[in-house]
Amino acid sequence: MKPISFLVHFLKDFERGIRSRSTDYLAYELRELENIFSLLLLGSLIGVPSPPSSLSFRLFPHMLREIYVMGKRTKDADDVSGEIFGLFAP
């Protein structure tokens, strides 16, 4: 890549990175909402009486990604502060 072209691409991406920092808050909030929604849908499997288990089982194949994310969140549960500090950098 030629130097000028590299510089232009770099500056464009750099600017995108700076702006994306401000959308992290939204992404975080959305992730938490998705998490809560997933928990609600699969609630019957952990003792929450709604929705019926049969419905939860029928939703299972469509929620692979959500279940994977929730599983990993559980793994990271001993380091929640790390993410929060990264997000709200003073």
Partner 1 sequence: MPTWVVIVIALAIYVAVYVLYGRKVARDVVKVDPTRQTPAHRFYDGVDYVPGKWPVVFGHHFASIAGAAPIVGPIIALAWGWLPCILWVWLGNAFIGAVHDFLALMASVRYDGKSIQWTSGEVMRPRVSFIFSIFVYLTLILVVAAFANVLAGIFIATPPVATASLLFIAVAVLIGYLIYWKKLNLTAMSVLGVALMIAAIAGSFQIPLALTKNIWMVIFFVYIVVAAALPVTILLQPRDYLNAYLLIAFLVLGGIAFLGVQASMTWPAFTSFSATVIGGQPSPFWPAVPLVIACGALSGFHALVGSGTTSKMLDSEAHALKIGYGGMLTEGFLSTLVIVAVGAFGLSVAGVTASAVGAAGWKALGIPVFSQSYAIGVNAVFGISVAFGAVFASLTVAAFVLTTLDTTNRLARFAWSDILTRGVRSEEARKKPVFRFFTNNWVASVIPAGLGIYLATVSGVFSALWAAFGGANQMLAAIALITSSVWAVNVMRAGRACLVALIPAFLLWVTVAAAYVWYLFTMAGIVNPLTLVIMGIMLILSFYLLYEFIRALRKGPAKTA
Q: How far apart are CA 8 and CA 6, in angstroms?
A: 6
Residue ranges in 62-81 that form contacts with partner 1 under rule CB under 8 A: 65, 68-69, 72-73, 76, 78-81
DSSP 7-20: HHHHHHHHHHHHHH
Least distance (Å) between residue 11 CB and partner 1: 8
Nearer to partner 1, 54 or 74 (CB): 74
How would you class 42 by CB atoms within 10 Å of its CB: exposed for 0-12, middle for 13-18, buried for 19 or more?
A: buried
Q: HSE-up of 33 (CA within 13 Å, CB side)? A: 6
Give the per-residue contact string, 29-48, with partner 1 (x = CB under 8 A; - = no).
x-x--x--------------
In the complex with partner 1, the residue whose CB is nearer, 31 or 58, is: 31
| Chain residues that interact with partner 1, rule: CB under 8 A | 9-10, 12-29, 31, 34, 65, 68-69, 72-73, 76, 78-90
